Amino acid sequence: MRRKAQLEELVAQANTMEQSHSVERRLTAILSADVQGYSRLMAQNEEATVRTLTAYRAVMSELIAEHHGRVVDMPGDNLLAEFPSALEAVRCGIEIQRALAARNADQPPNREMKFRIGVHLGDVMVEGDRIYGDGVNIAARLEGLALAGGICVSRSVHEQIRSKLDVRYEDLGEQAVKNIPQPVRAFRILADATAAPQKEKVPTGWSSQRRLVLAAGIVLVVAVTGVAAWKVLIPRFSPNLSQQAAGPSRIRSIAVLPLENLSGDPAQEYFADGMTDELITDLARISALRVISRTSVMQYKGEHKQTLPEIARALNVDAVVEGSALRVGDKVRITAQLIDAPSDRHIWARSYDRDARDVLAMQNEVASAIAREIDIQLTPDEQARFANARTINPQAHEAYLKGLYHWNKYTEEGWQKAADSFRQAIKIDPKYALAYAGLSDCYGQSAGHSLPPREAMPQAREFAQKALELDDTLAQPHVLLAVVDYSYDFDWAGGEKEFQRAIALDSNYAEAHFEYGFFLWVQGRFDEAERELRQALQLNPLSPQYAQFLASVFLTRKQYDKGMEWCRKVSDLDPNSYAGHVCLGWGYLAMRKPIEAAREFQRGLALAPEPFIMGNLGLAHAMAGDRDQAHKLIDELDQLSTRRFVSQYDSALIYAGLGLNDQALQRLEKAYEERSLPLVFIKVIAAFDPLRSDPRFIALLKKVGLDK
Cα–Cα distance between 514 and 521 in angstroms, integer? 10
pLDDT band of residue 17 (cuts 50, 70, 90) is: very low
What average pLDDT does the structure give for the chain?
85
Of 171-175, 256-260, 599-603, 686-690, give the lowest mean pLDDT range: 171-175
Mean pLDDT of 354-375: 87
pLDDT band of residue 303 (cuts 50, 70, 90) is: low
**Mapping DSSP to helix (H, G, I), strand (E, B) and coil, where does residue 355 land?**
strand
pTM: 0.69
Q: H or E element: which one contains 261? A: strand 260-261
pLDDT score, position 147: 87
The amino acid at 421 = S
pLDDT band of residue 577 (cuts 50, 70, 90) is: confident
Mean pLDDT of 667-672: 97
pLDDT band of residue 321 (cuts 50, 70, 90) is: very high
* 283 vs 388, more confident: 283
pLDDT score, position 664: 97
681 within 8 A of 522, measured Cβ to Cβ:
yes
Mean pLDDT of 608-625: 96
79 within 8 A of 71, measured Cβ to Cβ:
yes
Q: What DSSP string describes 300-325?
A: G-SS-SS-HHHHHHHHT-SEEEEEEE
Mean pLDDT of 563-578: 92
Mean pLDDT of 679-706: 96
**Mapping DSSP to helix (H, G, I), strand (E, B) and coil, where does residue 132 land?**
strand
Cα–Cα distance between 141 and 469 in angstroms, integer? 53
Taking 80 as the threshold, does the pLDDT of residue 202 lie above it?
no
* Helical ranges in 226-307 per DSSP H: 227-237, 241-246, 269-284, 294-297
Q: What is the pLDDT of residues 76-86, one digit of tens each?
A: 888 999 998 88
pLDDT score, position 424: 97
Cα–Cα distance between 678 and 518 in angstroms, integer? 12
pLDDT band of residue 241 (cuts 50, 70, 90) is: very low
Nearest to 96 by CA among 123, 65, 74: 65
pLDDT score, position 386: 80
Report how far apart, in Å, the C-alpha atoms of 531 and of each of 25, 321, 518, 543, 550 are.
53, 28, 11, 16, 9
Taking 80 as the threshold, does the pLDDT of residue 244 lie above it?
no
The rounded percent of the chain whose pLDDT value lies above 90 is 55
* Helical ranges in 488-559 per DSSP H: 492-505, 510-522, 526-539, 544-556
Q: Rounded to 5, what percent of the chain is helix, strand, coil?
A: 60, 15, 25
Cα–Cα distance between 148 and 144 in angstroms, integer? 10
pLDDT score, position 192: 64
Taking 50 as the threshold, does the pLDDT of residue 558 lie above it?
yes
Query: CA gyration radius for the chain?
Result: 32
Q: What is the pLDDT of residues 108-164, one digit of tens each?
A: 878 889 999 999 998 888 887 888 888 888 998 899 888 889 999 999 898 888 777
- CB-neighbour burial class of residue 32 (10 A; exposed 0-12, middle 13-18, buried 19+): buried
Cα–Cα distance between 457 and 445 in angstroms, integer? 9
Taking 60 as the threshold, does the pLDDT of residue 400 lie above it?
yes
* 504 vs 206, more confident: 504
Taking 80 as the threshold, does the pLDDT of residue 14 lie above it?
no
pLDDT score, position 411: 85
Cα–Cα distance between 659 and 295 in angstroms, integer? 41
Report how far apart, in Å, the C-alpha atoms of 278 and of each of 256, 373, 448 are.
10, 20, 29
The beta strand positions in 85-238, using DSSP E, are: 115-127, 130-132, 151-154, 169-175, 184-189
Phi, psi of 498 (to 5 degrees): -65, -40
Phi, psi of 558 (to 5 degrees): 70, 25
Selection from 161-175, 251-265, 533-547 with the highest mean pLDDT: 533-547
